[in-house]
Amino acid sequence: MTATVQIARSAPKTADAVGVPVGTSGAVPRSLGLSRAALAAHGFEGKVGQTLVVPSASGATHIAVGIGDGAMSATSVRTAVAALVRAAGKRAVVATTLVDAAGGEAGRAAQAATEGALLAAYRYAGIKKTPNPSHLRELVLVVPEAKAKASTAGAERGRVIAEAACLARDLANTPPAYLTARMMAEKAMEVGAATGLTVEVFDEHQLEEMGCGGILGVNRGSTEPPRMVRLTYTPRNPVGHLAMVGKGVMFDSGGLSLKPSDGMIAMKLDMSGAAAVLSAMSTLKALKCRAKVTGYLMCTDNMSGGDAYKLGDVLTFRNGKTAEIHNTDAEGRLVLADALAVAAEAEPDAIIDLATLTGAVMVALGKGIAGLMGNNDDFTAQITDAAKWAGESVWALPLPEEYRSALDSPIADLKNIGGDRYGG
C-alpha cells in the first residue's frame, strides 16, 4: 500500500503523530511541552535527522524532529521527514509543519518531504503468508495558504519519483524464480502501458538475427531465455534524445567462474541497473520530460549449465567487435555491449549506462557512493549535479587511455577483463 500525501492548513484531528521541527538553536515550540534543557537531557540537539518521541496521555503523539540551523536543503528535508516516519513507527497518519519551517522554495521542500516519507515507509511485501506491513497511510504537510499551491505540485512530483524508486526496490528484492527475464519483460510492458511508453520486446531468436552475441553468449548456460526490452518516451517537439541502458542479469552465479556462496546469495540484485532504467522511464510522462528518452533492459541469467560459455571463447557483439572471455563472472559488460551498440545506432545525444558491474567500485568508494565514469566532462558534471539535487552520492572515476592496453587480446578485439586484480 502506498501512503497518500495531503496539503493542509493545520494538522487533522485524525493524526496519530505530529512532527514538530526543532532547530539547534532558538525557541522550542510550546506544543512539545519540553524545554531545550529537557530535550538535551534526552540526547536531542536539533541536528538534522534526530528525533525524540514525546509520549502523550491523549491525542496525537508529538515527535521532535531536528532541522539543524538555518534554511534546509532538499537533502536535509528528505532526511528529516524520513526520520520522522521511522520514529512514528506504527502510527498511520503523520502530520508535520516541517515544509514551512524548512525555508526556501516550498515546492522543492514538499517534494523532498514526500520522497523522504514514502521511501522511509517502503517495505517489500516478500513471499510470506503474512506480508510485511507498511504502517504509514497518510502524510499531511501543514503549510500556510500562500505555500499551498507550490507544495501541492511539489508533493505530487515527489510522489511520482518515490513510487518509481519503490518499483525499482521491489524488482531488485524479488527472488530470481519470481522474476525471470521473460517476467521482467512482461513487467516492462505493464509499466509502459500504464505510463505512456512504447515497449518492444526482443526474444532470443530476434537477438540472434540482430547479432547480439554478448547477451546470447552469457545466456547459454541458462534454461531461461534472454530478453531485450526497448522502452521509448517521445514528447511533442523533443528538445533532445537521451538513451539509458540497464544491466538486467536476473541472477548471476558467475558462470563457470563460479562465485562463492556468500558472494552469490545477493546476486538477484544484479538486475538493479535494468530496474533503475525501467523505473526512471516510468516517471517521464508524469514529470513532463521535454526530451525523447529510450531505455534498454538487457535481461538474462548467468549460469553454469552444460552449454555455458567458457573461458577462451570469443563472443561477437552487435557492432561486429569481438571479445575473448577470460572470466565468465565479468559478464555484465558483455550483456551491455550489445545494447550500447543498438542504442548508438539511433545517434542519441548521450547514453547513460547503469549497472552493478564490479565490486571494485565498492572497494574504492564504499557502500554509499556510486562510481561514475564518462567520456564527456560536461555531461558527467550534469550527472553529478543531478545526483546531488536528488540526494544521491556519485563520484567521478577516471578512464585513462593508458589502461586500454590491459584489455588487448591476441585473437579478438579485446579481452573481457584485465590481466591482474587492479583497476576493477
DSSP 34-57: --HHHHHHTT----TT-EEEE--S
Give the dihedral sign, CA 385/388/389/392: positive
Q: What is the pLDDT of residue 1?
A: 57
- The CA distance from 177 to 369, in Å, is 29
Of 184, 295, 192, nearest to 248 (Cα)? 184
Tell whether 37 and 165 lie within a shared domain: yes
Residue 116: give the domain boundaries: 4-172
Write down which residue in 122, 142, 172 finishes a domain.
172
Q: What is the pLDDT of residue 317?
A: 99
Q: Is residue 305 part of a domain?
A: yes
Tell whether 252 and 158 lie within a shared domain: no
Q: What is the CATH number of the domain that holds 285?
A: 3.40.630.10
Q: Is residue 416 part of a domain?
A: no
At 323, list the grid cell: 571479445
Q: What is the pLDDT of residue 322?
A: 99
β strands within 215-343, DSSP E:
227-233, 241-252, 292-302, 314-316, 322-324
Of 241, 254, 246, nearest to 350 (Cα)? 241
Number of domains in the chain: 2
For residues 127-142, one letter each, b for 16 or more C-beta atoms within 10 angstroms of the residue's C-beta and e for the rest, the string is eeeeeeebbbbbbbbb
pTM, two decimals, is 0.96
Tell whether 93 and 76 lie within a shared domain: yes
SS3 214: helix
Write down which residue in 137, 153, 172 finishes a domain.
172
Tell whether 116 and 185 lie within a shared domain: no
- The CA distance from 11 to 63, in Å, is 13
- The CA distance from 94 to 31, in Å, is 16
For residues 220 and 256, the answer to whether their CB atoms sit within 8 Å is no
Write down which residue in 123, 148, 172 finishes a domain.
172
Tell me which DSSP letter residue 58 carries: S
Total residues found in the chain within this entry: 424
Tell whether 103 and 230 lie within a shared domain: no
Of 278, 287, 290, nearest to 239 (Cα)? 290
Q: What is the pLDDT of residue 306?
A: 95
Q: What is the pLDDT of residue 142?
A: 98
Q: Is residue 417 part of a domain?
A: no
Tell whether 135 and 231 lie within a shared domain: no
At 92, list the grid cell: 498511520
- The CA distance from 93 to 414, in Å, is 58
Tell whether 168 and 184 lie within a shared domain: no
Q: Is residue 407 part of a domain?
A: no
Tell whether 164 and 197 lie within a shared domain: no
Task: Just list the catalytic residues.
Answer: 259, 333
Per-residue pLDDT of the chain (424 residues; tens, 9 = 90+): 579 999 999 999 999 999 999 999 999 999 999 999 999 999 999 999 999 999 887 889 999 999 999 889 999 999 999 999 999 999 999 999 999 999 899 999 999 999 999 999 999 988 888 888 889 999 999 999 999 999 999 999 999 999 999 999 999 999 999 999 999 999 999 999 999 999 999 999 999 999 999 999 999 999 999 999 999 999 999 999 999 999 999 999 999 999 999 989 999 999 999 999 999 999 999 999 999 999 999 999 999 999 999 999 999 999 999 999 999 999 999 999 999 999 999 999 999 999 998 888 999 999 999 999 999 999 999 999 999 989 999 999 999 999 999 999 999 999 999 988 887 6
- The CA distance from 333 to 189, in Å, is 25
Task: Say how many CA atoms lie within 13 Å of 335 toward its Cβ.
Answer: 36
Close Cβ partners of 156 (under 8 Å, ≥ 6 residues apart): none
> Locate cell 515527489: which residue?
158
Tell whether 249 and 331 lie within a shared domain: yes
Tell whether 118 and 39 lie within a shared domain: yes
- The CA distance from 162 to 164, in Å, is 5
Q: Is residue 365 part of a domain?
A: no
Q: Is residue 242 part of a domain?
A: yes
Tell whether 303 and 332 lie within a shared domain: yes
Of 205, 202, 206, 246, nearest to 227 (Cα)? 202
Tell whether 156 and 206 lie within a shared domain: no
Q: What is the CATH number of the domain that holds 116?
A: 3.40.220.10
